[in-house]
Amino acid sequence: DAGVIQSPRHEVTEMGQEVTLRCKPISGHNSLFWYRQTMMRGLELLIYFNNNVPIDDSGMPEDRFSAKMPNASFSTLKIQPSEPRDSAVYFCASSPTGDLLGYTFGSGTRLTVV
Amino acid sequence: TQLLEQSPQFLSIQEGENLTVYCNSSSVFSSLQWYRQEPGEGPVLLVTVVTGGEVKKLKRLTFQFGDARKDSSLHITAAQPGDTGLYLCAGGGSGNTGKLIFGQGTTLQVKP
């Protein structure tokens, strides 16, 4: 298995532009998670899905952030409009159902908003 | 709100030394996991502990889950430069939701 695949690896965009981050989870994993990592705040859970259904989006910072999972093999995280404070590394992770088996993380998308 | 606090935040040691990283909380967790993250990559799972008092060994790494399932430790024996990285603990809640809460991490640097 190729693991969790995220794209792009790096994104530089101007303030106000729309940004879309993509994730392909491991086949057969029923849970998908979006995290944001910064030096100041560490890893923050933004939203997670079970069987393609959003379960908890309480970590989504503002209405500017939205996430979708149209099918079991694809998810997007969209920021519109982007702001400099959104600059961070965004990770997608997937897991079989339940927390005992651990997450497999993608390599992340480093977002820089200028 | 469940929180996990890791200590120390930064650790710089010489090759061959031993070290311990701590992960503490006031909340009870159903499971506790440790991850290691290298620059430019996502965290990679090292171990999962689920039973209070459980001890697991992975070569030179020893992981322990506290009896009350509120804390955990990671001990590395004879550290090597390849152990350098960010170590993260993560706690699983009740209800088997799959949701993990991560600590802030401990950055370890092992100098040759």
Chain B residue with the nearest C-alpha to that of A31: B98
Q: Residue B101: what pLDDT?
A: 87
Contact A40, A60 (CB under 8 A): no
| Subunit contact A91:B42, Cβ cutoff 8 A | yes
Interface of chain B toward chain A, CB-CB under 8 angstroms: 30-31, 33, 40-45, 48, 50, 88, 90, 92-93, 96-105
Q: Tens of pLDDT along chain B (112 residues)?
A: 678 999 999 999 999 999 999 999 988 888 899 999 999 999 999 999 988 999 999 999 999 999 999 999 999 999 999 999 999 999 886 555 667 889 999 999 999 9
Q: Centre a 10 Å sphere on the Cβ of residue B94 and count the other Cβ atoms it contains.
A: 9
Contact between A100 and B99 using a beta-carbon 8 Å cutoff: no
> What are the angstrom distances between the C-alpha of A66 and each of A14, A35, A101, B9, B85?
19, 13, 27, 32, 31
CA dist B15 and B67 (Å) reads: 31
> What residues of chain B lie within 8 A of the CB of A56, using their CB?
97, 99
Which residues in B lie closer than 8 A to residue A2 (C-beta atoms)?
none
Whether A31 has its CB under 8 Å from any CB of chain B: the answer is: yes
Spatial neighbors of A58 by CB under 8 A, at least 6 apart, are none
- pLDDT attached to residue B95: 55
pLDDT band at A88 (very low <50, low <70, confident <90, very high): very high
For B39, name the nearest residue in chain A, comparing CA atoms only. A107
Residues of B in contact with A104 (CB under 8 A): 45
Whether B98 sits inside 8 A of A45 (CB atoms) is no
pLDDT of residue B30: 85
| Type of residue numbered B42 | G
A106 chain-B contacts, CB cut-off 8 A: 42
Residue in chain A closest to B89 (alpha carbons) equals A43
